[in-house]
Amino acid sequence: MFLAINYPSWIHPEIFPGVPFLGLLRWYGLMYIFAFGTAYFILSKLRKEGALDSPGQTTTDDDLFGFFGFGVLFLLLGARIFSALVYDTSGLYRQKPWLIFWPFNEAGQFTGLAGMSFHGGVIGGLLGMIIWCLTHKRPLWKWVDAMVVAIPLGYTFGRIGNFLNGELYGRITTMPWGMIFPGAQRFSVSIPWVKEFAEQAGLTIAENARLINLPRHPSQLYEAFFEGIVLFLILWFLRKKKPFDGFLSGMFLIGYGTFRFIIEYFREPDADLGYIISVTDASTYINDSLFNISMGQILCFLMILAGIGIILARYFITKKQKEK
């Protein structure tokens, strides 16, 4: 028997809940500021190390700011558009695409841009960096390598923001660090396995209770640690050991894709999408087979393949250039 951890009651999505005007300020938005600030700081450090310099070309602060700003702009566009068109199954954004960037709900309440996809952010950010490097005649893969080193630590703050929002939690669990999220789906206490699960979690079912909230994997924190901190440390260690430009970009895609693919087994998929590939009848909050695959895992698999492809392509291109 273990005691589940209750999601801290003092955490609210709003920084100043209930305060007029200030109530619009949300932790998730603040985490984005921390994320971009951290990424820019790391990119600045790499510039000082000469990671962005080319023969006869020294990178200035203006170059760095322009490159970073262009990449971030396209990252946000890609993240929002991809989320709206791929993860929303209602068809609303296809029928009314202008609502993709509309930050209010039908009642006129400010909600911000609900839904951002990291996979879409990668695509959009890469497109932005390609455009900037081509228009400013800078070596693309050298600059992208620097950016991917800066991304993971900033990404950590994004996942912490998800945790503070009480969203993107994982599947139900009997692990001792399982956490009860207030917004999670509740289960009928009349179901035998629910009663058994509650007992294992050390939860007391009230006499007249009909529903109960079960502990979940805090998968946002798993992602913050592995896809953020651990991936950053790996890339930071490799930054001065890369054999050719493009190597770190490929390693970023492989590393992120691998970590995220594994963590998806603990994270609950979007209810409206469920499993894209399923060999059992398991629901989204329980996965009883490694062959039940979510949309996130399919996208991660494609990221891994893309990373391998970039490394192989850059290896042979670099080798051919040296032989000339």
Q: String of b and e for 201-211 (b: at least 16 CB within 10 Å)? A: bebeeeeeeee
Closest CA to 299 of 277, 272, 266: 277
Closest CA to 270 of 68, 158, 80, 115: 115
The pLDDT score that the predictor gives to residue 109 is 65
What does the alpha-carbon distance between residue 297 and residue 276 come to, in Å, rounded to a whole number?
Answer: 9
Tokens of 213: 């909230």
Domain boundaries along the sequence of the chain = 5-54+139-323
The pLDDT score that the predictor gives to residue 84 is 83
Neighbours of 229 (CB within 10 A): 14
The pLDDT score that the predictor gives to residue 117 is 84
The pLDDT score that the predictor gives to residue 110 is 64
What does the alpha-carbon distance between residue 97 and residue 196 come to, in Å, rounded to a whole number?
Answer: 46
Tokens of 84: 């709206």
The pLDDT score that the predictor gives to residue 206 is 80
The pTM assigned to this predicted structure is: 0.89
Q: DSSP label at 47? A: H
Q: CA of 180: how far to CAs of 175, 186, 200, 277, 312, in Å?
A: 12, 10, 14, 28, 45
pLDDT profile of the chain (324 residues), mean per 10: 77 82 80 94 94 88 93 90 78 75 69 76 92 94 96 94 91 90 90 85 82 93 97 97 96 97 91 80 80 92 97 94 81
Neighbours of 33 (CB within 10 A): 10
Cα-Cα-Cα-Cα dihedral sign, residues 229, 310, 46, 242: positive
